[in-house]
Amino acid sequence: MTSGIVNFLRSEITDPNTNRNTSSWIYPSSPMIEVGTPCISMSLIGNIPFIDTISNDELITLTYQFDIIVGMHDKFNISSSTYGNTKLRDFIADKVRESFHSCDNASIHSSCLDNSLVDEMWMPLEEENLLRKSMSFDFLIHYDTS
């Protein structure tokens, strides 16, 4: 499921940093600032069921947290507009939200039936000159071993 979400977002959201030659700006794990900013990390959070406790043909909810990290001095031109600082952070967060809201859930993962935004908060990381916005989404999954 995690790799499906990462690949889905990589296909939906263009990296504003056109000087970077990698799609790894969106990745599963804690923030990897060494890839440069902006970046998006995602982590599975909440109650994570053990595979051996899930019945076949069961519906489960997985909660993922997405962290959008932007450098305070980042500035990028996107569609003839300049985005920087909180405007860039919020632009990328809006793209994440819009991607999940408008998608066919099966395009995220074949077992994904639905997704919804659960929580959203922002915070400066002043000691590192970074801005962060965290968003949590629930994904309803149909678990089928057949």
Q: Where are the domains of the chain?
A: 2-143
Can you say whether residue 29 is alpha, beta or left, with left for phi > 0 and alpha for psi between -120 and 50 degrees?
A: left
Which percentage of the chain shows pLDDT scores above 90? 54
At residue 52, the pLDDT reads 66
- Strands 58-71, 39-45: pairing kind: antiparallel
Band (pLDDT 50/70/90 cuts) for residue 19 is confident
Is domain 2-143 given the CATH code 3.40.50.880 in the classification?
no
Beta-strand relationship, 112-125 and 26-28? unpaired
Give the CB-side neighbour count of residue 74, counting CA atoms within 13 A: 28
- β partners of residue 76: 83
CB 53 within 8 A of CB 60: no
Condensed to tens digits (0 to 9), the pLDDT of residues 46-85 reads 777 666 677 777 888 999 999 999 999 999 999 999 999 9
Which residue has better confidence, 57 or 146?
57
Q: What value does the mean pLDDT of the chain take?
A: 88
Residue 31, pLDDT score: 62
pTM: 0.89
DSSP class per residue in 57-122? TEEEEEEEEEEEEEETT-EEEETTEEEEHHHHHHHHHHHHHHHHHTS-GGGT-TTEEEEEEEEEEE
